[in-house]
């Protein structure tokens, strides 16, 4: 298949490109390089374009036909979204609307969309399945939920087939160390832990230890980026057989606190992780852990990384590489 990867220069998008190429799919990357990296586009042509620029989007779709689109372009930082909500609604909602409109006009009928656990807000049960109420507590989650609603409406009105994948905490790196997670500024826990271990970043700030969790720090469900890529590839076949708009959680079903991540990283790296307590970060729910049975059953998803240590080890291999 020929697949347009919007946001294919970013962390999850670049791992996706590598995964698709390994299955013989043809990949075209569309990215505005605002947070992605040109040097991470190693498996297909890069078209530098912005979803907010309808004219350049039109040129992309007029020039070639795609069998499906995978859409990773988004602003994705909870804290930043609390400070700059308009930027989140513009990029994540308006940008996606432009993309959907271009797809519809050019007869592209299948979309895999990067959604997020942030659509659930403050969960009311320990394990979150797809029927859990959606009530985002930050603009990032709200922007993704708005797109999910657009996809449901598009299925009804235009016959768009879509799979929205609600990622829990994407983590890790390609096991060969070729690509990995590189954000500027870096806000994510595991890269910040590893940078603190290496001394290339400051001491880790632990954002709050007064949450209603066993050790008081937030609990998250870390899922390896290649396992996310596997689910996207399976979604292509799923859309072949199923019309409509579908939603799946992608997580391991195991929660780890910030302090547990720090001690696992200490073991993996053999280094001390300098860290200090800091105030809570706005917009952070206490616990987010996925029930992913639906993706396992319907997509046939089989995550390969079910433990924290190998996920951190893959990230550690890449962070030690000075190329990025």
End-to-end CA distance of the chain: 30
What is the helix (H) or strand (E) element at residue 170, kind and residue range?
strand 169-171
Query: Looking at 258, 295, 299, 313, which residue binds ligand UDP (CB under 6 A)?
Result: 258
Nearer residue to ligand UDP within complex by CB, 63 or 185: 185
Nearer residue to ligand UDP within complex by CB, 14 or 116: 116
Query: Looking at 192, 252, 269, 292, which residue binds ligand UDP (CB under 6 A)?
Result: 192
Residue 281 lies near ligand UDP (rule: CB under 6 A): yes
Locus of tokens 């036909």? 65
- How many residues bind ligand UDP (CB under 6 A)? The answer is 15
Minimal CB distance residue for ligand UDP: 218
Known catalytic membership, residue 140: yes
Using alpha carbons, select from 209, 204, 184 the residue that is nearest to residue 193.
Answer: 204
Residue 295 lies near ligand UDP (rule: CB under 6 A): no
Residue 183 lies near ligand UDP (rule: CB under 6 A): no
Kindly identify the residues of this chain, within the stretch 206-225, that bind ligand UDP according to CB under 6 A.
206-207, 218, 220
Count of beta carbons in the 10 Å neighbourhood of residue 310: 15
Using alpha carbons, select from 236, 237, 230, 242 the residue that is nearest to residue 292.
Answer: 230
Tokens of 172: 């890790």
Paired strand residues for 252: none
Nearer residue to ligand UDP within complex by CB, 221 or 233: 221
Q: How many Cα atoms within 13 Å fall on the side-chain side of residue 265?
A: 29
Residue 187 lies near ligand UDP (rule: CB under 6 A): yes
Query: Looking at 204, 289, 290, 315, which residue binds ligand UDP (CB under 6 A)?
Result: 204
Using alpha carbons, select from 148, 152, 163 the residue that is nearest to residue 246.
Answer: 163
Positions in the binding site for ligand UDP (CB under 6 A): 78, 169, 187-189, 192, 204-207, 218, 220, 258, 281, 284
Instruction: Give the active site residues.
Output: 140
């Amino acid at each position: 298949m020929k697949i347009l990867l919007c946001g294919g220069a970013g962390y999850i998008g670049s791992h996706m490109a590598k995964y698709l190429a390994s299955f013989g799919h043809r990949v075209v990357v569309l990215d505005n390089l605002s947070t992605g990296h040109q040097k991470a586009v190693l498996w297909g042509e890069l078209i530098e374009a912005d979803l907010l620029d309808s004219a350049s989007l039109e040129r992309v779709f007029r020039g070639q036909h795609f069998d499906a689109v995978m859409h990773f372009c988004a602003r994705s930082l909870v804290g930043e979204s609390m400070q700059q909500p308009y930027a989140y609604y513009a990029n994540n909602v308006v940008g996606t609307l432009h993309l959907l409109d271009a797809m519809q006009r050019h007869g592209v009928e299948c979309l895999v969309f990067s959604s997020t656990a942030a659509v659930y807000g403050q969960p009311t049960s320990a394990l979150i399945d797809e029927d859990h109420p959606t009530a985002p507590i930050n603009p990032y989650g709200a922007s993704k939920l708005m797109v999910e609603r657009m996809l449901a409406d598009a299925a009804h009105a235009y016959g768009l087939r879509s799979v929205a994948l609600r990622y829990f905490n994407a983590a890790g790196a390609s096991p060969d160390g070729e690509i990995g997670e590189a954000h500027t500024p870096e806000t994510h826990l595991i890269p910040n832990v590893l940078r603190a271990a290496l001394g290339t970043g400051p001491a880790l700030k632990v954002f709050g230890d007064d949450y209603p969790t066993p050790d008081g720090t937030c609990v998250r469900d870390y899922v390896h980026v290649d396992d996310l890529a596997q689910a996207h590839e399976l979604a292509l076949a799923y859309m072949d057989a199923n019309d409509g708009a579908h939603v799946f959680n992608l997580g391991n079903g195991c929660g780890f606190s910030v302090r547990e991540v720090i001690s696992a990283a200490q073991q993996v790296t053999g280094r001390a992780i300098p860290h200090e307590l800091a105030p809570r970060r706005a917009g952070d729910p206490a616990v987010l852990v996925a029930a992913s049975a639906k993706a396992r059953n319907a997509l046939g998803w089989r995550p390969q990384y079910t433990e924290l240590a190998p996920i951190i080890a893959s990230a550690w291999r890449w962070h030690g590489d000075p190329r990025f």
